[in-house]
Structure 1
Amino acid sequence: MIVTEELGDLIRHYSDSGFKIRQIETGIVYDDAVDITPCPYTYEETDEPIDPEEATVEDKAEAYDILMGVSE
């Protein structure tokens, strides 16, 4: 199932089953997606599992900090 989290002016979409998601309007496949609100895109879950070695939790935290403008 696709999970949607509101993060201030951003919306994060991801699969709660560990699968990649596809943006329906473009066909682009993501591990997770972050859009601005209001979000014009919709997503569907694929049958392609996310490779757990693609990004570590630390990598994702760093990417989140960059997106949110958080500096050390």
Structure 2
Amino acid sequence: RMAEALRVIFPAGFAERIGPDAVDELADCILRYAAMALLLPSAQPLETADDIRAFARRHFLPSLPVALRTVPA
């Protein structure tokens, strides 16, 4: 379901450009990190938007599928 949602919210043609495997990997990555952020205790609670952004920069962005790290803007 997450992969289908991504295909809907991505800009036109983006999912096709990165390929179905990258879309599926991204969906898995999003679900994994959302569960981690919601369920696991943390030394640094995620209470504000800035906390969530810092978490994403530190943990989520480096774990993105290679296809998403190499797509030009």
Q: TM-score, normalised by structure 2?
A: 0.28
Q: 1 or 2, which has the higher helix percentage?
A: 2
Q: TM-score, normalised by structure 1?
A: 0.28
Structure showing greater relative contact order (alpha-carbon pairs closer than 8 Å, 6 or more residues apart): 2
Higher Cα Rg, which structure = 2
